[in-house]
Amino acid sequence: MSETNNLREVTGMSGQEYHDQFVNAPSVAWTDPALKRFVRVRLLTDPGFPMYDVSYVYGELHGGTLCHVILPFHQIPKRGFASWLIKQARGDKVYLKGLGFFDALSKLT
């Protein structure tokens, strides 16, 4: 096994083990009142490209069930990133800070 395959996330699980938790998880909109918190928001981009692509968004429901969270967009502008997100969320009556969105954020460039 290569060294890369032995890498563990901070959860103590490999990347695949982590993602496997969400394989049969339900999907909810970010406006769903059952959404308790964001667990991981993964954004990807390339140098020089003005947008982040939303790779995946995981959450947890109030009952403890893990879920996929559906955002109403697939890209987020790099410039004015936080204010753009907050504006989108306010329009949908979603409180990002209270749901831990920015704490769950992971950006890969």
45, 108 in Cβ contact below 8 A?
Answer: yes
- Tell which wins on pLDDT, 8 or 44: 44
Per residue in 13-70, pLDDT tens? 567 887 788 889 999 999 999 999 999 999 999 999 999 999 999 999 999 999 999 9
Query: Does residue 5 fall inside a structural domain?
Result: no
CA 51, CA 93: separation in Å to the nearest integer?
Answer: 24
Domain that holds residue 35: 25-108
Query: Does residue 11 fall inside a structural domain?
Result: no
Q: How many CB atoms lie within 10 A of CB 3?
A: 6
Comparing CA positions, the residue from 23, 39, 53, 36 lying closest to residue 94 is 36
Query: Does residue 4 fall inside a structural domain?
Result: no
- Tell which wins on pLDDT, 12 or 15: 15
Query: Does residue 16 fall inside a structural domain?
Result: no
What pLDDT score does 82 carry?
95
Give the chain's domain count.
Answer: 1
What pLDDT score does 3 carry?
39
User: Which regions of 13-50 does DSSP assign to beta strands (E)?
Assistant: 27-29, 35-44
Residue 11: band (very low, low, confident or very high) from pLDDT cuts 50, 70, 90: low
What pLDDT score does 70 carry?
98
Q: Does the pLDDT at position 12 exceed 70?
A: no
